[in-house]
Amino acid sequence: MSKNKNGGFFMKKRTIAALAGAGALTAANAVRAAMFVPEKKDWGTVEDEKINVDKALEHISGAIQIKTISNPDKSKVDFKEFEKFHKFLEESYPLIHKTMKKEVVNEASLMYYWKGTNPDLEPMAMLSHQDVVPIEEGTEDDWTHPAFSGYNDGEFIWGRGALDMKNHLICVMEAVETLLEEGFQPERDVYLCFGQDEEVVASEESGARSMMEIFRQRGIHLDSIVDEGGAVLDLDIPGVIKGKKLIGVGIAEKGYTDVKISVHSNGGHSSQPPKHSAIGKIADVVKDLENHQFKSELMPFVSELFSGIGRNCTYPARLITCNIPFMKPLIKQIMKQIPPAACLVRTTTAVTMTEGSPAANVLAQNANITVNFRQMPGTTVADLEKHIRKVVRNKNISIEILKQKEASKFSPTDSRPFRVMEKICKQQNPDSFVAPYLVMGGTDACYYEPVCENIYRYSPFNVTVEELRCTHNTNERLPIKTVEEAITFFMRWVRRASSQEDA
Ligand SMILES: [Zn+2]
C-alpha cells in the first residue's frame, strides 16, 4: 500500500518535473529557433553592368553548334571542330584577341593572358573547358531540338554544352570583352584557360595539366581560380523554405579511381564444374566490397550546408532545424542510407563491370570486376588498395589500377577571393546563402593545385534541379533568363578579384 502511495507521490512529482522540463525545453527550443537565422550583414549595393544579352545568346547558340567532342582516344577527336571553335571565338571577341596574348597548348587548349597594371600582385585565372561529351547513339531523336542546334526557343538554348559548359565559357568571354569595351584594366594579370579534354576523366596528358605546367615553369603562382561546379538553385518547399536561393561553391572535389580485381581458376569444360567457379569467387569479392563500405564522416562543410539551409527555413520548420547542430550523429546515420547523400559523407564503391568466360559451355579461367571508387578528400588511391585487401576475404586476388585521380584538397573559405565571391553573390541575390560544398564529379581545376590554393568551382547560372539533370543527357538546355546574371557575376568577379578589394 504505502509503496503504491509513495510510488503515486513520486510519480506525481516526476510528472511535474518532466512537464516543467519539457516546458523549459520547448521554451528554450522556441528561443533557439527564433535566433537560428542567417547572420545579418549589410553587403552594400552596386551599379548594374551594361550587357548586350542578345549578342551573348547568339554566341552561346553559335558555340553549341560546333561539335567539340572529346574522346579518350585522341586519334578519334575531330580537331577541325576545335579549330572552327577557335575561329569562332576570334570573330566573336575581337577586343580580347587584340588585347590579350593567346597561346594554343597541346593540340587545342587555349590560354589567354591579359596584362595587369600591378606586377606585384599574383595573377588570377578563370577556367572553362571547350569540349563536350558525345550524344549517346540511338538517343539523337529523343531531343526536343537537335543536340547541336543551339536552338533558342525564347526560353531555353538547347544543345550539348548548354550547361556543361559552353554557357560558362561564352559568358566569361562576354564579360571580358565588355570590360575591354569599357576600357577596364585589371590590377592583376588575368588568365583565361580553356581546356580541350576535361570530359576525358583522369587524363594523364590533359590540356589543363599542360597549362598548369606552363604556370609552374614560368614560376607563376595564382591568387584565385574559378571553374565550373556549383550553381544557383531555388529553394522552395511549401511550409519549410520559401523564396531562398542556395549558391553552391565547390571548394573540393572527390577523387576518381577505376580498379580491376581478378580471380583465377582452373577453367575447363562446363560439364564438370567445380564447387565454385571463378565467377562464384568473384561474386564473393563483390559481396565483400558492397558489405564493407568506407567509413562515413560528416565533414564540416556538410554541417555548414545543413545549418545554412536550416537557418533560412520558416519559423515552424526552424523549431526542428535549429537542433541540427546537435543532431550530427543522426544526420550521418540517415545520410549513409540515401545514395545521393551517402556520396557526401564517404568514399563510394560502385562495382560497374564484370567479365568471365567467353562462352556458355566454358568455365572461366579468369573472372574480373571493375570497381569505380570516388574518394573523399583525405583518402588516397593507396588507401583504396589497402581497403580492398582488408575487406575481401579471398587473399588470392589481383588488383590493377586502371585509372586514377586523387581527390583534391579543400580550398579555404576564409580567403579574400572567397569573401569577394560571397559578397558578389549576396549583392546579386540578397535572399541567397552561399554554401561551400564538395563537387562529386571532376573538374579541370584540380590539376591547378600545385599553383593555386584558392580554387572555387562555381557556375553563376540559376537553374533548376531538373535542368541540371540534363547535363551529359538528352535535352541539355540553358534557361536564357539566367545569362545576364552570369555575365554580371563574371564582370564583377574580374573587376574585384583582380583588385586588392576585400569584402
Ligand atoms: Zn564540365
Residues 6+ apart with CB under 8 A from 32: 322, 323
Beta strands in 270-428 (DSSP E): 348-355, 362-363, 366-374, 398-405
- Ligand 1 centroid from CA 98, angstroms: 28
pLDDT score, position 202: 72
Taking the model in full, what pTM does it have? 0.89
The predicted structure's pLDDT at residue 417: 98
The 10 Å Cβ neighbour count of residue 454 is 21
pLDDT digits (tens, 9 = 90+) for 453-468: 999 999 999 999 999 9
Whether pLDDT at 119 is above 70:
yes
Question: Tens digit of pLDDT for each residue in 32-41?
Answer: 899 999 888 8
**Residues flanking ion ligand 1, Cβ below 5 Å:** 164-165, 228
Per-residue pLDDT at 439: 94
**How far is the C-alpha of 70 from the C-alpha of 77, rounded, in Å?**
6
> How many angstroms separate the CA atoms of 493 and 495, rounded?
5
pLDDT mean over 90-100: 98
What are the cell numbers at 396? Answer: 588470392
pLDDT digits (tens, 9 = 90+) for 126-135: 999 999 999 9
For ligand 1, the distance from its centroid to the CA atom of residue 261, given in whole angstroms, is 29
> What is the whole-number distance in angstroms between the Cα of residue 270 and the centre of ligand 1?
47
Q: Following DSSP, what letter does each residue of 176-225 receive, concatenated?
A: HHHHHHTT---SS-EEEEEES-TTSTT-TT-HHHHHHHHHHHTT--BSEE
135 Cα to the center of ligand 1, angstroms: 15
Q: What is the pLDDT of residues 218-276, one digit of tens each?
A: 999 999 999 999 999 998 888 889 999 999 999 999 999 999 999 999 888 999 999 99
* pLDDT of amino acid 6: 45
Read off the pLDDT of residues 428-456 as tens digits, 9 standing for 90 and up.
999 999 999 999 988 999 999 999 999 99
pLDDT in tens, 140-193: 999 999 999 999 999 999 999 999 999 999 999 999 999 999 999 999 999 999
Residue 494 has pLDDT above 50, yes or no: yes
The DSSP bridge pattern shows strands 156-158 and 398-405 to be unpaired
Distance 327 CA to ligand 1 centre (A): 35
| Residues 364-404 pLDDT 10s | 999 999 999 999 999 999 999 999 999 999 999 999 999 99
83: helix, strand or coil = helix
Catalytic residues: 131, 198
DSSP, collapsed to helix, strand or coil, labels residue 392 as coil
CA 93 / ligand 1 centre spacing (Å): 22
pLDDT band at 23 (very low <50, low <70, confident <90, very high): low
Query: Residue 268 — φ and ψ, nearest 5°?
Result: 115, -165
User: Where residue 331 falls among pLDDT bands split at 50, 70, 90?
Assistant: confident
